Structure 1
């Protein structure tokens, strides 16, 4: 299997990530994280800032997200608890807990969970964050693709 783009290979240091997430973050007025359920699992948005948004994404066993790309944001993923399959620009990599992946804006990407338990990863999105900034290229759940 080919490797996904690792953070270090993209020239992104852990200091850059730490600085980005230490900036101001808007939260839901109730102080609670925003949870959104999807056909493949769910995500919990922990904070949403002007330049950075942080989510924990949970993928149900045997499911995968759509093959997609974004025009307005880069993404930095950290696999949290079980191995996940990550595809970036056609390269498929089995990522273990603790592995980090950099996804530059414009890159096609998806994640799938081949395991038997729900798997989670941390997503830090850099740039203008908008849930409508998803160009779906393929989808297992009959959602619109462009």
Structure 2
């Protein structure tokens, strides 16, 4: 399969969920009245629509565009952070990982597993909950959560 065909298949598989999640999230956001999200009453419809459109591209939002007050990279579609990291995994696979030998993959699985265990033992909360914002700690958690299962699954799938 060509690189272009691989990326096209991934876009066809993942992007509709991203777009639908962003649209549904914007609708739910606009019509809710919750004390959990104090910025709802001060967010203009235009800003919410901009956040929705950017969210539909899966480009992480900077903190100044946060509309929920939780510093999320995708505030209208909470699970989109996971799809963001899945896109990264697919890009890494297409460009590099598929060319790695089993030996190199095994080494990377061990290293990624060690990073995960290290974070679980030394992290502030003893878990791997996080990855949904652009803060350095959250990005570390997101990449830690991504690399071990992705590499492990690819290394031992065939």
More helix by share: 2
* Greater gyration radius: 2
TM-score, L = length of structure 2: 0.26
Higher relative contact order (CA 8 A, sep 6+): 1
Structure (1/2) with the larger strand percentage: 1
TM-score for the superposition, normalised by structure 1: 0.27
